[in-house]
Chain A
Amino acid sequence: MAKTVGLLLAGLVACYGLNWFLAEFIEVVYVDYLNLIGIAIVLAVGLNVINGLTGQFSLGHAGFMAIGAFVAGLVSIQLTYGEMSSGPLELAGLGTFLLSLLLAGLAAAVLGVVVGAPALRLKGDYLAIATLGFAEITRILLTAQDSLGGPTGIKRIPKMPLLPGTGAWDGGTSVFWIFLVVFTIVLFSARLQRSTYGRALIAIRENELAAETMGVRAARMKVMAFVYGAFFAGIAGGLYAHYQHSVRPDDFTSIRSIEVVVMLVLGGLGSITGAVLGAVAVTLVPQLLRPLEEQLQVNGLSMVVYALLLILMMIFRPQGIFGQRELSLKLFRRILPGGRK
């Protein structure tokens, strides 16, 4: 417990340092990539608990993110401006910002229960289709909501609050906040994995009947996994909303859900390290391909590249880059000469 507080404080300081460093030395374009990677990591590491650890095939992660984005956006607009009006973009107060993220996570978590419940009955492809459907319904309902701006969504979402010493920079404090969440979810997920809950989730994945017969309440555990993943996806959505200052329902199409699954499959389902790596790769691929797309005047090259990557992966390394292993100190010790076995 004391260690947890210490670790979170260390994470806080590290994220502040990163934010400061980038503000001093790095161009804002690259910071944009970094932030998108951070948000992708939160999505992927969260989904890894559902798809990787528990072995469920959820294909609706964008739905949780959408709810989080809209809830955080609306809450902070309400608390900052009092109404949706035009005017300059403002900063969210620290309390408003944190509250908006918390509510974003909780709203998504509630939806996680709703979506997790059918997971008790549906398996494999059926669950994938049901969750995909849920995410699409969420998006369509949001689009149909005129009070939420319909297809154009909500705008003027207040910026993330400043911290002492991070004022005069376009990137603001986005890196700090986003990576603080990245740090937290990676820490918590690693701990989840190495606990009685993690073993129970893996047991469900490995052999659900045996797990249940050994007393693992599979239904409860699956809902827990969905709630965990959804909560962080909601927060990722909230961060995204504050970062982009505006969100549209179409920011959360099923393509985004599929991307998150691709991140996991590329990195190695069940591995946090793999999820992080997959998030980096899948976020960067379209950015790297953009010049080529412009030159050739074709759109959607990145989709082709994902497909190719996945096919190559299935042929040469079906377990993903990391398989189920984790990059950890232990692994380093094994690799280093003279290290313990």
Chain B
Amino acid sequence: MTALLATENLTIRFGGLTAVDGFNLAIEPGDLFGLIGPNGAGKTTVFNMITGVYLPTEGSVHFDGKLVNGLQPAQVAALGVSRTFQNIRLFDELSVLENAMTGAHQHAKINLFDSLLRTARHYREEQRQRDRAYELLTFMGLEDRAGLPAKQLPYGHRRKLEIARALATEPKLICLDEPAAGMNTGEKAELSALIRKIRDELKVTVLLIEHDMKLVMGICEKIQVLDYGKTIALGTPQEIQNNPKVIEAYLGGE
């Protein structure tokens, strides 16, 4: 089986700092894949290179067999990669529903004049976006908040809305950057179930960054560990938990 996402020797330097160093990653379609590592290990930076936010200094990213390096973020999104952000980035002045609808924008097959003249195509497109956004809000348990401005959403819900918005782009791969950060135990359990449903029901491959070990070990089938920009371990949750290098990295780091 060919990998859905593959990085090879992925490297990025910020001045003198090599934040990610010769990073190789292979994600198969249908994976629920964990990427973990201590603070500052370079996990978010990997996401930024995968989604076209940063251009790698060296190495390559392939998605679905296509080279991603050098593409703009919107082009990467069009290929079917979506993500959430560690530091939440919602469109605060738009409503919850409109935030999710914006994810569906890239599939709009209309032009500006359709919207200015309010043609039938415009109304159909609005309906399509609204229906899809509503479905995904319901999926994430946010349907009651659809009309609220995003800025009025409580913290845990903001993270869920980011996931709904990312799903509205109809991705093949969703990259979640610490989706459980700031959530309480109950919310975390609910989120675990949702992430599993994203993979099982929506058939979207998941790449997950998460510090909560219980959550990661509980839902991921494969885990890769990053420390100082380098891979130090790759395996099943069992293997990772017993890996001396991983234990060392976490204990030595704090």
Interface residues in chain A, defined as those with a beta carbon under 8 Å from any beta carbon in chain B: 1, 3-4, 188, 191-192, 195-200, 202-203, 205-207, 209-219, 224, 228, 270, 324
Contact B73 A192 (CB under 8 A): no
Contact B116 A210 (CB under 8 A): no
How far is A285 from B101 in the complex, measured between Cα atoms in Å?
A: 42
The total of Cβ contacts below 8 Å across the A-B interface reads 104
Interface residues in chain B, defined as those with a beta carbon under 8 Å from any beta carbon in chain A: 51-53, 72-74, 76-78, 82-83, 85, 89-94, 98, 101-106, 108, 110, 112, 115-120, 122, 125-126, 129, 165-166, 168-169
Indicate which residue in A216, A228, A270 contacts B102 across the interface (CB closer than 8 Å). Answer: A216
Contact B101 A196 (CB under 8 A): yes
Contact A3 B118 (CB under 8 A): yes
With A196-B105, A215-B103, A218-B74 known as contacts, the answer to whether A207 contacts B89 (CB < 8 A) is: yes
Indicate which residue in A206, A212, A217, A228 contacts B92 across the interface (CB closer than 8 Å). Answer: A206
How far is A202 from B90 in the complex, measured between Cα atoms in Å?
A: 11
Contact B125 A196 (CB under 8 A): yes
With A203-B91, A211-B102, A213-B82 known as contacts, the answer to whether A191 contacts B73 (CB < 8 A) is: no
Contact B115 A202 (CB under 8 A): no
Indicate which residue in B73, B101, B125 contacts A213 across the interface (CB closer than 8 Å). Answer: B73
- B interface secondary structure, majority: helix
Q: Which chain B residue shows the least CB distance to A1?
A: B119
Q: Which chain A residue shows the least CB distance to B98?
A: A199
Chain A residues whose C-beta falls within 8 Å of the C-beta of B83 in the assembled complex: 213
Q: Which chain B residue shows the least CB distance to A224?
A: B112
Chain B residues whose C-beta falls within 8 Å of the C-beta of A197 in the assembled complex: 112, 115
Q: Which chain B residue shows the least CB distance to A210?
A: B89
Contact A199 B72 (CB under 8 A): no
Q: A206-B90, A214-B166 are in contact. List 9 more A-B contacts (CB 8 A).
A: A196-B110, A196-B125, A196-B129, A199-B98, A203-B105, A209-B89, A214-B103, A214-B105, A228-B112
With A192-B115, A214-B166, A214-B169 known as contacts, the answer to whether A209 contacts B102 (CB < 8 A) is: no
How far is A199 from B74 in the complex, measured between Cα atoms in Å?
A: 16
Chain A residues whose C-beta falls within 8 Å of the C-beta of B103 in the assembled complex: 214-215
Indicate which residue in B74, B101, B125 contacts A212 across the interface (CB closer than 8 Å). Answer: B74
Chain B residues whose C-beta falls within 8 Å of the C-beta of A3 in the assembled complex: 118
Contact A214 B165 (CB under 8 A): yes
Contact A216 B91 (CB under 8 A): no
Q: Which chain B residue shows the least CB distance to A5?
A: B117
| CB of B117 to closest CB in A, whole Å | 5
Indicate which residue in A4, A192, A202, A219 contacts B91 across the interface (CB closer than 8 Å). Answer: A202
What would be 7 A-B contacts, judged by CB atoms less than 8 Å apart? A195-B126, A196-B110, A196-B115, A209-B53, A211-B91, A214-B106, A216-B105
| CB of A106 to closest CB in B, whole Å | 15
Contact A202 B93 (CB under 8 A): yes
Indicate which residue in B104, B108, B117 contacts A4 across the interface (CB closer than 8 Å). Answer: B117
How far is A206 from B168 in the complex, measured between Cα atoms in Å?
A: 18
Contact A200 B102 (CB under 8 A): yes
How far is A213 from B54 in the complex, measured between Cα atoms in Å?
A: 12
Chain B residues whose C-beta falls within 8 Å of the C-beta of A217 in the assembled complex: 72, 74
| CB of B235 to closest CB in A, whole Å | 30
Indicate which residue in A1, A207, A270 contacts B117 across the interface (CB closer than 8 Å). Answer: A1
How far is A213 from B105 in the complex, measured between Cα atoms in Å?
A: 12
How far is A212 from B52 in the complex, measured between Cα atoms in Å?
A: 10
Among A1, A196, A216, A324: residue with most chain B CB under 10 A: A196
| CB of A320 to closest CB in B, whole Å | 14
| CB of A218 to closest CB in B, whole Å | 7
Q: Which chain A residue shows the least CB distance to B51?
A: A213
Contact B116 A191 (CB under 8 A): yes
Please name the 8 residue pairs, one residue from A and one from B, whose CB atoms are nearest each other, closest first.
A215-B106, A195-B115, A215-B77, A210-B89, A206-B91, A212-B73, A207-B89, A213-B73
Chain A residues whose C-beta falls within 8 Å of the C-beta of B168 in the assembled complex: 214
How far is A203 from B93 in the complex, measured between Cα atoms in Å?
A: 9
Contact B78 A215 (CB under 8 A): yes
Contact A195 B122 (CB under 8 A): yes
| CB of B160 to closest CB in A, whole Å | 15
Q: Which chain B residue shows the least CB distance to A207?
A: B89
Contact B105 A200 (CB under 8 A): yes
Contact B94 A207 (CB under 8 A): no
How far is A196 from B72 in the complex, measured between Cα atoms in Å?
A: 21
Indicate which residue in B77, B101, B115 contacts A191 across the interface (CB closer than 8 Å). Answer: B115
With A196-B129, A206-B93 known as contacts, the answer to whether A191 contacts B118 (CB < 8 A) is: yes
How far is A324 from B125 in the complex, measured between Cα atoms in Å?
A: 25
Contact A188 B116 (CB under 8 A): yes
Chain A residues whose C-beta falls within 8 Å of the C-beta of B169 in the assembled complex: 214-215
Chain B residues whose C-beta falls within 8 Å of the C-beta of A203 in the assembled complex: 91, 94, 102, 105
Contact A207 B91 (CB under 8 A): yes
